[in-house]
């Protein structure tokens, strides 16, 4: 299990990436994160919604309600143009961070 504090700083990029692929709702995102990481990382619901709030406030994503299913309307999130530009920045930043960390960590496994 990966320490969640290590990943916490990258939650915005992870969630933006998933929403870039297609509009998604909260539970779907948490399931997708568990699935793709083979359950090595799971996001708590409270954490996820805090990220949604932060991203919405910064106008990087926007919410809308989908059709009624299972007795209620699902709240979906879509990435904005601003969100796409920000994600692009985060990706190049990550590439650089990864290269720097690798300089010190490679060959120690």
* Two structure tokens written together for 31: 């399931």
Structural domain range at position 76:
4-105
What pLDDT is recorded for position 20?
98
> CA 93, CA 19: separation in Å to the nearest integer?
19
Give the separation between CA 56 and CA 12, rounded to whole angstroms.
11
pTM for the model = 0.87
pLDDT score of 9: 84
pLDDT along the chain (109 residues), means of 10: 77 97 96 95 92 97 86 91 97 94 86
Counting the structural domains of the chain, the total is 1
Q: What pLDDT does 1 receive?
A: 63
Which long-range contacts (C-beta less than 8 Å, at least 24 apart) are formed by 87-92?
87/13, 87/16, 87/17, 87/20, 90/12, 90/13, 90/16, 91/13
Q: Which CATH number does the domain housing residue 82 bear?
A: 1.10.10.10
């Amino acid at each position: 299990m990966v320490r969640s504090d290590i990943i916490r700083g990258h939650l915005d990029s992870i969630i933006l990436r998933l929403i870039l692929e297609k509009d998604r709702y909260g539970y779907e995102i948490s399931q997708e994160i568990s699935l793709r990481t083979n359950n090595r990382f799971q996001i708590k619901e409270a954490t996820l919604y805090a990220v949604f709030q932060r991203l919405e406030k910064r106008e990087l994503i926007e919410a809308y309600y989908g059709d009624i299913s299972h007795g209620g309307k699902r709240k979906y999130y879509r990435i904005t143009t601003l969100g796409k530009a920000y994600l692009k920045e985060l990706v190049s930043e990550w590439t650089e961070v990864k290269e720097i960390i690798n300089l010190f960590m490679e060959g120690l496994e």
